[in-house]
Amino acid sequence: MRGVALALGGGGVRGYAHLGVLAVLEEAGIPIRGLAGSSAGALAAAAYAFGHKDPWKVQGKVFDPELAELRQGGSLRALARVFSALRRPALAEPKRLAEGLKGLFGEARLEESPLPLAVQAADLLSGESVVLRRGPVWRAVLASMAIPGLFPPVDWEGRLLVDGDVAEKVPVRAARALFPKVVAVDVSNPPPKEGPKTALEAALLSGEASRRRLKELALREADLVIALEPPFPIDTFDHEKLPLVYELGQRRARERLKEIQALSRIRLKDLARALRLAP
């Protein structure tokens, strides 16, 4: 069977690049046999699976203006929210994000997806990866995007779920469960070139370093990796960069298009044989 499954990684606004990648594959006639997404990748995977392929429409539905305010961080209101959040479980209120996701997906359920779809979240208490295949799409994506500290965890059948990036930034294993040939799309920023200036920066960088290592281990299991490789770091909530990341996604997919086409044509028995012979 021709085609590939895609593992779409997290990265905030950089996740809109996934829709650019998918647009190129669709144009090239490469069958998409499954989509697995984490965090922003979960939003992109679900949006594409349910026919929402326009990144500007997706942005208009789910972008919360409060996040832009938090990103700027310079206003007294934003600073007051940061300090008051020290006594609350989350910095932002997810109501607007939840309403936006409900508006985008309505009552659709994961098991109703026209394409095999998996949304990856993480168990806040155990750190385990949790792959969601059934349930309301909007709530699954909300759980996968629940960045710890920024958004509160989502209660899902007795488990507290948070951002899928906590467990596996690019959900290659979840994609492999949908279809044996996996293209992973990594929309991470390049590693920082300078060390931390404050204790808070040091704590944040240590978490990023750990997730970067987990991501590298996951990417080794993919058959092919598309890396966004932005020309400069793009902030997680900088929605002004949406056109840039979408175009970058298209460009990176076109650069690897011949390889993706070749992978999509490999017969399953040949792939199984190659995996058995792999060291």
Q: Do 246 and 57 form a contact (C-beta atoms < 8 A)? A: no
Active-site hit among 39, 113, 144, 264: 39
pLDDT at position 279, please?
47
What's the pLDDT tens digit per position in 184-222? 999 988 877 777 666 656 766 666 776 776 777 778 899
pLDDT at position 267, please?
64
Cβ neighbours of residue 53 closer than 8 Å, sequence gap 6 or more = 19, 22, 23, 47
For the chain, list the domains and their CATH numbers. 4-276 (3.40.1090.10)
Active-site residue 188, yes or no? Answer: no
d(CA 276, CA 206): 36
What's the pLDDT tens digit per position in 115-138? 999 999 999 999 899 999 999 999
d(CA 182, CA 35): 9
pLDDT at position 207, please?
67
d(CA 26, CA 18): 12
Point out the residues of the chain with pLDDT beneath 70.
Answer: 63-93, 196-201, 203-207, 210, 213, 267-279
- For residue 62, what are the CA distances in angstroms to 104, 182, 225? 8, 28, 27
Q: Do 160 and 153 form a contact (C-beta atoms < 8 A)? A: yes
pLDDT at position 108, please?
97
Q: 12 in the Ramachandran plot: left (φ > 0), alpha (ψ -120 to 50) or beta?
A: left
Two tokens, residue 136: 């309301």
Active-site residue 39, yes or no? Answer: yes
Active-site hit among 64, 129, 144, 163: 163
